[in-house]
Amino acid sequence: MKPLKILMVLFAFGLFFTGICQAHTPLFSCFDNGDGSITCEGGFSDGSSAAGVAVRVVDKDGKVLMKDKLDKFSEYTVKKPAQEFSVIFDAGEGHQIKVPGKEIF
Amino acid sequence: MKKRIAVLVSLISLTLSAQTFAHFQLIYTPDAALENGGKIPLALVFTHPFDAGHTMDMGTPEQFFVLQTRGENPVKKMDLLDALVPISWQSLTNSGKAFKTDYTARGGDHIFCLVPDPYFEAEEDSYIQQMTKVIINVGGIPGAWMEPAGLPAEIVPLSKPYDRWTGNVFQGKVLYNGQPVPGAEIEIEHLNHEPLIARNAFASGPAVKAPQSSFELQTKFADDNGIFTFGIPKAGWWGFAALGLDEDATHKGKPCSKDAVIWIKAVDM
């Protein structure tokens, strides 16, 4: 393959992946259910599902307290930890969101 | 003298006509795009939004519900009719019967839909029924904002109604019984006096002053597919009312204007 063709293919791939990144901003929000549990909702800015995306509850040192995947409704309900914690939505590199427990109302 | 009377009658008729056309059913909440969920206030007021003028008495609505929709999840419908509390809303010229409620919103789109009780307009010996929608979003994950809500008369947004910057355009499609309405007449008003929802009243000061009455109530027509486009000149809430979508509609034996209303909010960059 000539260098020009390789460049063109690389350029096309670059455009393709840029498009994907821009079109799929991850979004993640958590709410206090008022019954000792929290529910977190994940998704993407284009409305596509986040079902199956990994979620982790970690303490202030990053130690994993609980881990699971978002359900078919892109939701995760879990008992609220007594200690300081954060919930992490992990859809891969560049698509991680951390919600501190103190910001969950 | 006869000529003077004729001119006077004509002027009164024009005035009444202008007032009639400026009726707008409002579903008001302060923000359309919220970062966090929580309790939000809603006020249902039948009024003249540009000048915060005469506010009409609302009867108990036929329907008031919300469609909760987030991502690809199924749409959930929640009836809000029983949650409405009657209030008296103070305009700059009178007070009118209205309704209020609080609603707890979580992530996604919340499509509020109102089918009001038809309002009897005595001067015209006819009824007005403005089926009204407002769509808010929490957290940014969109839902089915672009889908019809199933109202008999409705404006379906073709532009995301809660992501408009000032200067963007807003596009909508006018439907009656699910079918596009070619050439539908659309009136547009800015919510020019801030609703003070805690006081059930409009703020007395306007956001802008119109240089002439034509600017208070803008008019345009949908195209052959029922689609219209509007360039948004100022931040805030804008109401779009597609009027008289069924010429044959009646209520209690009198003509009834079946209108579709949608409100959107634009913000400055």
A17 to chain B nearest CA, in Å?
Answer: 21
A6 to chain B nearest CA, in Å?
Answer: 38
pLDDT value of residue A8 = 52
* Record: contact B71-A105, CB cut-off 8 A: no
* Record: contact B143-A48, CB cut-off 8 A: no
Q: Are A24 and A45 in contact (CB under 8 A)?
A: yes
Per-residue pLDDT tens over the stretch B33-72:
999 999 999 999 999 999 999 999 999 999 999 999 999 9
* Record: contact B37-A29, CB cut-off 8 A: yes
B176 to chain A nearest CA, in Å?
Answer: 27
Q: Are B76 and B105 in contact (CB under 8 A)?
A: no
* Record: contact A105-B143, CB cut-off 8 A: no
Q: Are A99 and A86 in contact (CB under 8 A)?
A: yes
Q: Which of B35, B36, B70 would best serve as a mutation to test chain A binding (most A beta carbons within 10 A)?
A: B70
* Record: contact A27-B70, CB cut-off 8 A: no
The Cα–Cα gap between B180 and B94 comes to: 37
- Residue predicted with more confidence, B19 or A82: A82
Chain B nearest-CA residue for A40: B107
Contact residues, chain A, for B106 at CB < 8 Å: 29, 31, 39, 41
Q: Which long-range contacts (CB under 8 A, 24 or more apart) does B208-214 make?
A: B208/B234, B210/B50, B213/B18
Interface A:B, Cβ pairs < 8 A: 51
* Record: contact B71-A25, CB cut-off 8 A: no
| Regions of chain B with pLDDT less than 50 | 1-3, 5-21
Contact residues, chain B, for A42 at CB < 8 Å: 141
pLDDT value of residue B18 = 43
* Record: contact A49-B106, CB cut-off 8 A: no
* Residues ≥6 apart with Cβ < 8 Å to B36: A29, A105, B138, B139
Q: Are A55 and A76 in contact (CB under 8 A)?
A: yes
B158 to chain A nearest CA, in Å?
Answer: 15
Residue B61: both structure tokens together? 């609505």
- Per-position b or e across B246-262, b if 16+ CB within 10 A of its CB: beebebeeebbbbbbbb
Local confidence band at A93 (pLDDT 50, 70, 90 cut-offs): confident
Local confidence band at A27 (pLDDT 50, 70, 90 cut-offs): very high
Chain A nearest-CA residue for B146: A47
Q: Are B87 and B199 in contact (CB under 8 A)?
A: no
* Record: contact B140-A41, CB cut-off 8 A: no
pLDDT value of residue A4 = 52
Chain A nearest-CA residue for B142: A47
B9 to chain A nearest CA, in Å?
Answer: 56
The Cα–Cα gap between B16 and B23 comes to: 11
What is the pTM for the complete model shown? Answer: 0.88
Mean pLDDT of A5-23: 46
Chain A nearest-CA residue for B138: A29
Measured between CB atoms, which of A31, A45, A47 is closest to B143?
A47
* Record: contact B139-A25, CB cut-off 8 A: no
* Record: contact B71-A49, CB cut-off 8 A: yes
Contact residues, chain B, for A29 at CB < 8 Å: 36-37, 106-107, 138-139, 141
User: Of A66-70, A78-82, B3-7, B235-239, where does mean pLDDT reach its minimum?
Assistant: B3-7
